[in-house]
Amino acid sequence: MSLIKNVVTVGGWTMAYRLSSILRDTVQANILGTTIFADAFNLAFKFANMLRKLFAEGSFNASFLPIFSNAIKDKGPEEAQKIASQVLTWLVFLVSFIMIICLIFFRYIIHGYAPGIETSSEKFTHLVNLGRICSPYIAASFLVALFGGVLNTINKFAMPAAAQLILNFCVIIALFAGTLFFPSSAYTMAWATFLGGIIQVAILWGNVKWCGLNIGFDLSAMTDEVKQFFKKLISGAIGAGVWQLNVLIDFMVLSFLPTGAVSYFYYMDHVNQIPVGILGIAFSTALLPPLTKAVHAKDNTSAQKQMNLGLLFAFVFTLPAAILFISLNEPITAAMYGRGNFGPEQVIAAAPALAAFAFGLPSYMVTKVLTTTFFAHKDTKTPLNGGIISIVANLLFIVLLMPFMKHTGIALATSLSAWCNVLYLLFALKKLGTIKITCDTIKECLKQFAVSTAMWALIFLMNLYYANSCYLAGGMTRNFVLLAVIGIGIMGFCILGKCSGMFDFLSEIKKLEKA
């Protein structure tokens, strides 16, 4: 299968998911603003979503896909289905236990997750209630990851990527439904999250059956492959989902700040997630299988080419995205959220956090590619060590920056800690020995930095001599001018990139696929 085709398929559906997420956030900001209900739902949903991303996204795929794909190749489809069935069985037991613990002890869990909120406050009560309603989504996400991983392994990328949209559609419908008989629309959103998870599982399980794979419950003795999967799942979660661990720490600290800080951070994080989600998920989904096969076949030359081309592909999209978010943080925030209960005061407070997040955009993508490389070599220890380094760095930067920059300082600390993780992984890659970043890749990366710098200069001049005054006018004038500045900036990036040969590596990807 074509790497570019797979990336486009997964990335296209993920883009649709991210755009629907922005629509969901826009409607939510308009209705809930930055009230205690907004903060409570954002904290509850982020708790469930972080566990999904931590265990049931990158880590799950990185642990399950190599085992399942190797079983298909070495032992045949029947043995592979047996492994998947055993994973399903034990996952059901695991998530059932987690749900029971959550429902019984959720008040104490939430107090540890958001220690800055007084347990006697109305905000804490709503947070606990919303968290309990959303918690089954965590269980559903494990099963979604399992069935999605099975489909990805047999090169069925579209349905797992498209299934992400279901959750947003459910939440958007709930927002328009209003409060119903609940205290706030936040409660209808929480129940919609619960329902969305169930629908996702049903659709993907049905799709697996439709593809001819009989994956059900299997209570026979656990195979060595299944034992290996569960061992890797825990250690791999910290390495592959290190950014989510840092965001978890961020939200714990945010709970000590005044009402609204959680929502500012949450909304800007989601804007920043657009390029991260589209390319990050696409690459971790589409790059891992061919990399794993190349490593399994001991074809280090092919593995090295794929990793280097993956780095170039990631940088060429995240660098201009970072420039846009940093240079245009306030007009972008105003255009996306500045209406209803999210007024000019909220825009001014939230926008700097977008620039702080954007500083780390390239580092998140490099981490995705590098951790994929280590996982393909069945090395989960190195990403684990990088995760620990990043977490410690994040805490140190928060202590230094939060007293002066509030929620923006926490966002910047997340970005800086992600760069610390990249530095460690690059150092560890040299010790791995089998593949390396080539001199040609370094030269091409420097070329991309130079073209991106030129793009920043172009946007700066447009803002200085024309656009800034139009942004102040607000409304459609601001939006049209903002789109024009973004369009001209991207056009300048593409023209300079084409003239400098920056996009030539795309032809190398095509040659590699034909080989």
Q: Which residue in the block uniquely carries the two structure tokens 């085992």?
A: 67
Q: How far apart are alpha carbons 263 and 487 in whole angstroms?
A: 29
Q: How far apart are alpha carbons 196 and 190 in whole angstroms?
A: 10
φ and ψ at residue 11, rounded to 5 degrees: -65, -35
Q: How far apart are alpha carbons 426 and 309 in whole angstroms?
A: 16
φ and ψ at residue 117, rounded to 5 degrees: -95, 125
- Rounded to 10 deg, the angle between the 288-296 and 58-74 helix axes is 50
- Per-residue pLDDT of the chain in tens (515 residues, 90 and over written 9): 455 566 666 667 777 887 888 899 999 998 988 889 999 999 998 888 777 776 666 667 777 777 887 888 777 778 888 888 888 898 888 888 888 887 888 899 888 889 999 989 999 999 999 999 988 888 888 888 888 878 877 777 778 778 888 989 999 999 888 888 888 999 999 999 999 999 999 999 888 888 877 888 888 878 888 888 887 777 666 655 556 677 778 889 999 998 899 999 999 988 888 777 666 555 655 555 666 677 767 777 777 877 887 788 878 888 999 999 999 999 999 999 988 888 889 999 999 999 999 999 999 888 878 887 887 777 778 888 888 899 899 999 999 999 999 999 999 999 999 999 999 998 888 877 777 888 888 898 899 999 999 999 999 999 988 898 888 888 888 999 999 999 999 999 999 999 988 888 777 666 655 55
- The one-letter amino acid code at 124 reads F
The domain total for the chain is 1
- Identify the domain containing residue 135 by its residue range: 3-514
Other beta carbons within 10 Å of 261: 23
DSSP 225-279: HHHHHHHHHHHHHHHHTHHHHHHHHHHHHHTTSPTTHHHHHHHHHHHHHHHHHHH
Q: How far apart are alpha carbons 179 and 185 in whole angstroms?
A: 4
Q: How far apart are alpha carbons 289 and 513 in whole angstroms?
A: 13
Other beta carbons within 10 Å of 227: 12
DSSP state of 221: P
Please give the model's pTM, rounded to 2 decimal places: 0.81
- The one-letter amino acid code at 167 reads L
